[in-house]
Structure 1
Amino acid sequence: MYLLKSGAAVSITHASSLLGYSRKTVQRWLSQYQREGLQGLLAIRHGGGRPAGISLWAQTKLKARLAQPRGFGEIVTWLASQCAVRVNYWVVYHGFRQRWKAKLKTPRPSHAQQDPQAVTAFPERLSWKLRSAVRIAPDWHIRYWVEDESRFGLKPICRRRITAHGVPPIALPQWRFEWVWLYGFVEPLTGESFFWEYSRLDHQCFGEVLAAFTREYSNPDEMHIIQLDQSAVHRATDLEIPPNVAFYFYPPYSPELNPIEQLWALLKGRLSNRLWFDLYELKQALSHQLIPIL
């Protein structure tokens, strides 16, 4: 109405294009304003229609289950067994995907022996340890790193592929069991990183990588606190830990607490669905992906 009265719009069609709504909608608003005035136009109306296929209490129960990381697979089956609600797939899809923005995802493996309480408490414990280190050694520059190892091999890494509608994607298998281990250190605060390649994973190799790391970062005024998992490689009794390095172990069976896991996932995603002629070709591709990070 304002656009038409002020001359900013010369017609209802022009006003609808300016507002981004259809001509039919703008015409309905104008007619309602003429009949009921501004108050009638702004009144909130609840439309009719059929009752929801899934009752409100069942929707509440379903939403609560969707909020749990474990989730579930067959929603229609779950509703029938847990809520005695039998609906077709499209009724569930409307609420599940379109309204609640939930979708089917590939789950991250979680070990049955993981301690959820320890995982939840870890960030606060880590923060307290770092503050304590700064308080105990105020003259040192404390640097916090995360460390992990990942294996890259000639057996292809399969990931999802995009194809046209009705075209199933295919993967080319290659059962060749040769690989290389990448040892990585990343400083979350700065993004600085250090990587070392070895043909195997054991505490002797880790000791050599640790020595190379301390040669690279040999400033006597720096203390390096390294977060890592509790594998035997990192806890070997004869492992030589440099004097400017301290380990901080996160709870067992909880790799999600290590930010470097996201880097491994990124690298493997970029190297996925490809066949490698030999380890040299794989190493070249891996180095090419690491150069922008270093």
Structure 2
Amino acid sequence: MGTALNIRQDFTADDLRQLARKSRDADWSRRLLALSVIYEGGSRSHAASIGGVGLQIIRDWVERFNQHGPDGLKTGKAKGREPLLNDKQRKALIEAVEKGPVPYLDGVVRWRLVDLVQWLWQEHRISVSRQTLGRELNAMGYRKLTARPKHHTQDSQVIEEFKKNFPAAVAEIATGAARGKQVEIWFQDEARIGQKNKITRRWARRGTRPSAPHDQRTRSAYIFGAICPKLGKAAALVMPWCDTYAMTQHLAEISRHVDENAHALLIMDQAGWHMSNNLVVPGNISILPLPPKSPELNPVENLWQFMRQNWLSNRVFKSYGDIVDHCCDAWRKLESQPWRIMSIGHRKWAHEF
């Protein structure tokens, strides 16, 4: 004959039934109802039949209940395997990823998973697979992203001052050349598209090496592109050369896209054909040059990257006319997606002040 079950007396059968009714965990409700039978003086067999378990499990539930109360009957999560990396090692890994490799020490110019696996072994004597390390980096919020262009000799202080002073520059245009009109903020840049084209990443079966067509001829054209991210507008010309005359034609094209009751503040780099005294600037455009060596301030750079990776790379152009046709088709496709212009072109320093 089994010994009697001693259950804590700071609860009643009604208390457990009320908790069971409020619970959305079926297993927890079942355990609470089984123990309510014990409180009413029912047999352990009766409690086991309600709980759908054996007599020993009922005894275990009572012991958990006596020690932790109703919460002791909740389903716990399995502890699982101990993590391969502790907090100190994770911090060291994050620092290594953020700083990037030192080429003459690490032998690479960018981290791949296989390189980080080797780094972990050399620095911490921890052996992990690429898949495990990839999951670990994903869990810490890291993804493999395309880097923005950055000049190696740029002055970061000049860039920050440009961002800080940008609202004042807009205000000066608003009270001067654009008096009584809305100010549209435009960005401009050029991209060379040619027969010696880029090859991008593509999906392929693991272990294979995919191929893509690659031309060695040198015919090319230039896309003169400008966007107004706030309004999702774009204006472009495809030209055979890159000079002051071509830039003048592009300014005229941008001018036609500016609203009648607006004035455009056109932000672009300090290329020679942008700053030439022979450049003809329409009356509804004011030019604001970017600081030297700061391509990351111009979102059109990211636009070229998107267009190359999705519409213009991995192609063989038959002729100059074929290049022009594909450039025009890609830009028209971009113009038909103003939300993409807004997404790629948005900059906090230029649009949120």
Same fold (TM over 0.5): yes
Change (3 A) 1:143 1:33: farther
SS of alignment partner, residue 177 of structure 1 = coil
Q: Structure 2 vs 1, CA of residues 292 and 80 (structure 1 numbering), >3 Å: closer, same or farther? A: closer
Gaps of 5+ in 1: 16-26
CA displacement, residues 236-285 of structure 1 (integer Å, 9 cap, x when unaligned) = 23323233321112222222211222221222121221212222223222
Which protein has the bigger helix share? 2
Check 1:98–1:191 CA distance in 2 against 1; reply closer, same or farther (3 A cut): closer
Task: Report % sequence identity.
Answer: 21
User: Is 1:64 the counterpart of 2:95 in the alignment?
Assistant: yes
Aligned-residue RMSD, C-alpha: 3.9
CA contact (8 A) 1:54 1:85 kept: no
Residue 87 of structure 1 corresponds to: 126
Q: Deviations over 1:21-63 (max 9, x none)?
A: xxxxxx9xx987665232224698894855x544432322322
Q: Report the CA distance between 1:224 and its aligned residue.
A: 1.5
Preserved CA contact (<8 Å) 1:76 1:86: no
Report how far residue 204 of structure 1 moved. 2.5
Matched, 1:255 2:283: no
Report the TM-score, using the length of structure 2 for normalisation: 0.64
Q: Which residue of 2 aligns with 1:97?
A: 137
Q: Which amino acid aligns with 2:125?
A: R
Q: Deviations over 1:51-82 (max 9, x none)?
A: x544432322322343458895232454566x
State how far apart, in whole Å, the 1-side matches of 2:164 and 2:196 are.
39
Shift in alpha-carbon separation, 1:33–1:281, aligned structure 2, 3 A: farther
Tell me whether 1:280 sits opposite 2:312 in the alignment: no
Aligned partners of 1:94, 1:225: CA distance in 2, in Å?
44
Give 5+ residue unaligned stretches, structure 2: 1-15, 31-52, 102-108, 336-353
Would you say the 8 A contact 2:227–2:300 is kept in 1? Answer: yes
SS in 2 for 1:291: helix
1:241 and 2:269 matched: no
**What is the Cα deviation at residue 178 of structure 1?**
0.6
> Which residue is 1:22 aligned to?
none
Change in Cα spacing, 1:117 to 1:211, as seen in structure 2 (3 Å) is same
1:40 matched to 2:72: yes
Query: What TM-score, normalized by structure 1, do the two folds share?
Result: 0.76
Q: 1:107 to 1:289 in 2, by over 3 A?
A: closer
The question of whether the paired residues in 1 share the 8 Å contact of 2:117 and 2:133 is answered with no
Deviates more, 1:130-139 or 1:230-239: 130-139
Question: Is the 8 Å Cα contact of residues 235 and 253 (structure 2) preserved in structure 1?
Answer: no
Where does 1:149-160 land on structure 2 (aligned, <5 Å)?
A: 149-160=190-201
Q: Deviations over 1:198-256 (max 9, x none)?
A: 1011122212322343355484x532110001112211233232333211122222222
User: Judging changes above 3 Å, is the alpha-carbon distance between structure 1 residues 68 and 177 closer, same or farther for their aligned structure 2 residues?
Assistant: same
Amino acid at match of 2:322: E
1:96·1:103 contact (CA, 8 Å) conserved in 2? no
Aligned-pair CA distance for 1:176: 0.8
Structure with the greater alpha carbon radius of gyration: 2
Task: Confirm or deny that 1:191 pairs with 2:219.
Answer: no
The answer on whether the counterparts of 1:141 and 1:222 sit within 8 Å (CA) in structure 2 is yes
Report 1 or 2 for greater relative contact order, CA contacts < 8 Å, sequence distance ≥ 6: 1
Query: Compared with structure 1, are the counterparts of its residues 98 and 291 closer, same or farther at alpha carbon in structure 2 (3 Å cutoff)?
Result: closer
Q: 1:65 to 1:117 in 2, by over 3 A?
A: farther
Q: 1:48 to 1:142 in 2, by over 3 A?
A: closer
